[in-house]
Amino acid sequence: MTLLPSNLEIARRASLKPLAEIAAEMGIGPHLLEPYGEGVAKIKLEAIEQLADRPKARYILISAITPTPLGEGKTTTTVGLGQAFQHLGKRAIIAIRQPSMGPTFGIKGGAAGAGRSQVVPMESLNLHLTGDMHAVTAAHNLLAAMIDNHIYHANPLGLDPHSVTWGRVLDINDRVLRNIVVGLGAKPDGIPRQTGFDITAASEVMAVLALSVSLQDMRERLGRIVIGTSLSRAPITAEDLKAAGAMTVIMRDAIKPNLLQTLENTPVLVHAGPFGNIAHGNSSVVADLMGIHCGDFLITEAGFGADIGAEKFFNIKCRTSGLRPDAAVIVATVRALKVQSGRHRVVAGQALPPELLEENPDEVEAGGANLRKQIENIRLHGVSPVVAINAFAEDHASEQTAIRKMAETMGVRVAVCTHFRDGGRGAVELAEAVAEAAEEPSELRFLYPETASLREKIQIIATKVYGAAEVDYDMRARRQLDRYEQNGFGQLPICITKTHLSISSDPKLRGAPTGWVLPVREVRLSAGAGFVYPICGDVRTMPGLPSNLAAQRIDIDENGEIVGLS
């Protein structure tokens, strides 16, 4: 088998169209573009209103089974599917999140897709892009600075320093910043207190950016951010600190979606990058409100497996946007299903175990409970699923056949995809299956009404989506839930924070476990973004760097070109 060049080499050989031409094909005129160099542009928000009279595209979600730590190629499949529609004479628009530089320099690498299904310019996408991440970082840290400044200058709001939940953020993995003490030194250096850093993608400002529908909506959401409480336990917001206006000014350009293209010149809207665990893990609402009127299909991607990203897409993002999906793709791989059998362990940064690569369709079937449950999770929401078998070079035909039989037994369309090797041509079967599924009647069903209590919402997600038998609350979590409801936040949706490596809250449980108990040890509030998030298990909001990190391989060559980026 001929080896493909590296992702970066393939991306550099791409023949890019002028972005004005890409935009024109979407119905977006040059007066709505703000170029950032040759391969990237921002789109003004006025495009949403100017496109509103155009027909709506079919809205397609890309989700997955429970992934291995390596990821199963959702972004690559998203890009490949978008390119495939061109081969069927259809226009597709892709909407994805912006990568964080933490994973780019850590283990995971970039998030531009891979092989012949990539978003380009790949270097720009993975490194800074148009500065949206930095804007989120600056806006978040401005609020943090204003909190400490308020405490230092006599604390007129009576903010309890021990109640402050707003730390600082940075778009780099750095474990030593998880827990820090600020205000050390002389008296003018501030009042000492313990705090810490999260990665920028975990900032509530990022979640606000992703869920805002307009500049004014973002301003109001930023104002609603709760940073702590007074000594009398009343919530104190960014608006109370008079910080929201300046934060919005910093974010004024960041709210405009970024326009790029694929290797085959399919338009791509890249915007926002909220954490898939601590937040809802989906790209922005404003990008979707634009893209839905720009072609025949709008394809977007949700983080991690269907139990996390898709559930949050349906019950959080779709509540905000008002858009309703027509079909959902579940990306499945042979290796992930073998891992879900419980017989193998995959570690990020290490080679796959040799026994995992041996032909064994029975192991694929043994892990099939995970695929079946994720199909069920999509159907719970009234949406038609399609299974995409993302083919890897080491797969055996018998193993892919095992996946196909599982899907067909459940009455689900299925396609084997070679888009990594073949680009759009390798996903034509998938595009045909998605187009058929999107024609079926679809009516999105939310899992719970807004009027349900916070505990009822958590119970429904835990039992119906995760397969838990019950939910167990620590005393701290109970008090927090009671206080949020007393303060008027009970109507908010739930954004559960748990491991992405299992449908359960225990990363060691494989397949589709049942009879287990979901432990809720803490519950936090994102009043600005508009959700409540229970913490279920140990989830890091500031990742650490590995011993063998990507940053050590990234450099500049003698021609000034980037090397080593993946």
d(CA 220, CA 122): 34
According to DSSP, the β-strands at 297-301 and 40-43 are unpaired
pLDDT of 429 > 70? The answer is yes
pLDDT of 420 > 80? The answer is yes
d(CA 125, CA 562): 13
Whole-number pLDDT of residue 418 = 97
- Work out the average pLDDT over 263-290: 95
Whole-number pLDDT of residue 276 = 87
Look at the block and give the residue holding tokens 């905000």. Answer: 320
Whole-number pLDDT of residue 350 = 81
Say if residues 505 and 495 touch (Cβ distance below 8 Å). Answer: no
Q: How many CA atoms lie within 13 A of 7 on its CB side?
A: 21
pLDDT class for 290, splitting at 50, 70, 90? very high
Contacts of 401 by beta carbon, 8 Å cutoff, 6+ apart: 361
pLDDT class for 414, splitting at 50, 70, 90? very high
CA-to-CA separations, 381 to 134, 302, 376, 512, in angstroms, rounded: 35, 15, 9, 18
pLDDT of 563 > 60? The answer is yes
d(CA 481, CA 486): 9
d(CA 154, CA 505): 43
What domains can be seen in the chain, in order of their start residue? 7-128+257-438 (3.40.50.300), 132-250 (3.30.1510.10), 454-535 (3.10.410.10)
Start-to-end CA span in the chain (Å)? 21
User: pTM for this one?
Assistant: 0.95
User: Comparing 326 with 105, which gets the higher pLDDT?
Assistant: 326
Residues in the chain: 566
The predicted-structure confidence for 438-471, as pLDDT tens digits, reads as follows: 999 889 999 999 999 999 999 999 999 999 999 9
- Work out the average pLDDT over 333-359: 91
- Work out the average pLDDT over 341-358: 88
Residue type, 560: G
Residue 6 token pair? 């590296």
d(CA 43, CA 38): 14
pLDDT of 107 > 80? The answer is no
Lowest mean pLDDT among 69-78, 101-110, 257-266, 297-306: 101-110
d(CA 131, CA 134): 5
Q: Report which of 304, 98, 274, 104 is spatially closest to residue 198, judged by C-alpha positions.
A: 274
Whole-number pLDDT of residue 2 = 66
Whole-number pLDDT of residue 366 = 96
d(CA 506, CA 377): 19
Look at the block and give the residue holding tokens 């970066």. Answer: 8
pLDDT of 1 > 80? The answer is no
Whole-number pLDDT of residue 30 = 96
Residue 427 token pair? 């996903």
pLDDT of 405 > 70? The answer is yes
**Is the four-CA dihedral 430, 433, 439, 444 of positive or negative sign?**
negative
Q: Is 15 exposed, middle or buried (0-12, 13-18, 19+ CB in 10 A)?
A: exposed
Look at the block and give the residue holding tokens 């989506």. Answer: 465
pLDDT class for 553, splitting at 50, 70, 90? confident
Exposure string over 432-448, b if 16+ CB within 10 A, otherwise e: bbbbebbeeebebeebb
Say if residues 79 and 427 touch (Cβ distance below 8 Å). Answer: no
How large a percentage of the chain has pLDDT more than 70? 100
pLDDT of 518 > 90? The answer is yes
Whole-number pLDDT of residue 109 = 75
The predicted-structure confidence for 40-83, as pLDDT tens digits, reads as follows: 999 999 999 999 999 999 999 999 999 998 889 999 999 999 99
The predicted-structure confidence for 206-255, as pLDDT tens digits, reads as follows: 999 999 999 999 999 999 999 999 999 899 999 999 999 999 999 999 99
CA-to-CA separations, 103 to 115, 275, 349, 518, in angstroms, rounded: 19, 12, 12, 28
DSSP string, 287-352: HHHHHTTSSSEEEEEBSSSIIIIIHHIIIIIHHHH----SEEEEEE-HHHHHHHTTS----TTSPP
Q: Report which of 564, 93, 566, 13 is spatially closest to residue 263, judged by C-alpha positions.
A: 13
Whole-number pLDDT of residue 182 = 94
Say if residues 175 and 76 touch (Cβ distance below 8 Å). Answer: no
